[in-house]
Amino acid sequence: MIRRSLPILLLCAVLAPAAARAEQDQVQFFSNIHVSPGSEVHDAVCFFCSVDVEGKATGDVVVFFGNTHIASEAQHDVVNFFGHVTADDNAVIDHDLVSMFGGIRLGENVHVGEDMVAMFGNVQSGNGVTVERDRVEEPAILFYAPMIFLVVIVVLIVREVRVWRRRAFLRSWGYPPHP
């Protein structure tokens, strides 16, 4: 029974994203998404690639392990994990702008309609940048300093255990050997 249903389940898993995909959405793996001027996309989701919006994004722009470039308008959220977000001069992001483990560079007169969050990254903004609600910036040092401390502690513990084991081995071996 399981042997007959496995190919059917695998086929459904492969075809499910294609059935759920809307006409104006773009979802890519390892292939960049480019929205040319004068055209629009609803949702743009990209894994291990970048999104370049020169036209209009009417939905969300979500990027994992890549960069995001907004040249004109994003009418909803822009979210980026492990990459950089760049908004050109006079660009508009109507809702939230979120960057995790990456940087944000905003040009002159950029408008963010709601919140801007930069977690563990840096923000460079030009003159006239407006953020309607909250602006949260947490520098990377708040994440990396405790991580470096923990790595140093683990390295020291491993080193001391190896030294202790080496000394115990040499004690039991009778080094140096008797003449």
Looking at the structure, tell me whether residues 29 and 78 fall in a common domain.
yes
Query: Are both 106 and 145 inside the same structural domain?
Result: no
Considering the domain architecture, whether residues 48 and 104 belong to the same structural domain is answered as yes
**Both 158 and 104 in a single domain?**
no
Question: What pLDDT is recorded for position 78?
Answer: 95
Residue 154: domain span:
140-179
pLDDT at 20: 45
Mean pLDDT, the chain, integer: 85
CB atoms within 10 A of CB 124: 11
pTM reported for the whole predicted model: 0.71
Tokens of 37: 């001027």
Confirm whether 123 is domain-assigned: yes
176 prior amide bond cis, ω within 30: yes
Within 47-135, where are the H helices? Answer: none
By mean pLDDT, which of 13-22, 61-70, 105-114 is the weakest? 13-22
Within this chain, do residues 67 and 90 fall inside the same structural domain, yes or no? yes
Residues 108 and 135 in one domain: yes
Are 41 and 104 in the same domain?
yes
Residues 145-171, mean pLDDT to the nearest whole number: 92
Q: Clarify whether residues 31 and 70 are in a common domain.
A: yes
Both 56 and 110 in one domain: the answer is: yes
The count of structural domains within the chain is: 2
At 95-138, the pLDDT tens digits run: 999 999 999 999 999 999 999 999 988 899 888 898 998 888 88
Claim to verify: residue 88 and residue 130 sit in the same structural domain: yes
Q: How confident is the model at residue 19 (pLDDT cuts 50, 70, 90)?
A: very low
Percent of the chain with pLDDT over 90: 59
Closest CA to 93 of 80, 112, 107: 112
149-158: average pLDDT: 96
For the chain, give the percent of residues with pLDDT over 70: 84
Alpha helices in the chain (DSSP H): 2-20, 141-173
Do both 177 and 91 map to the same domain?
no
Distance CA 78, CA 80 (A): 7
Within this chain, do residues 146 and 134 fall inside the same structural domain, yes or no? no
Res 13 pLDDT > 80: no
| Nearest-angstrom CA–CA distance, 118 and 176 | 60
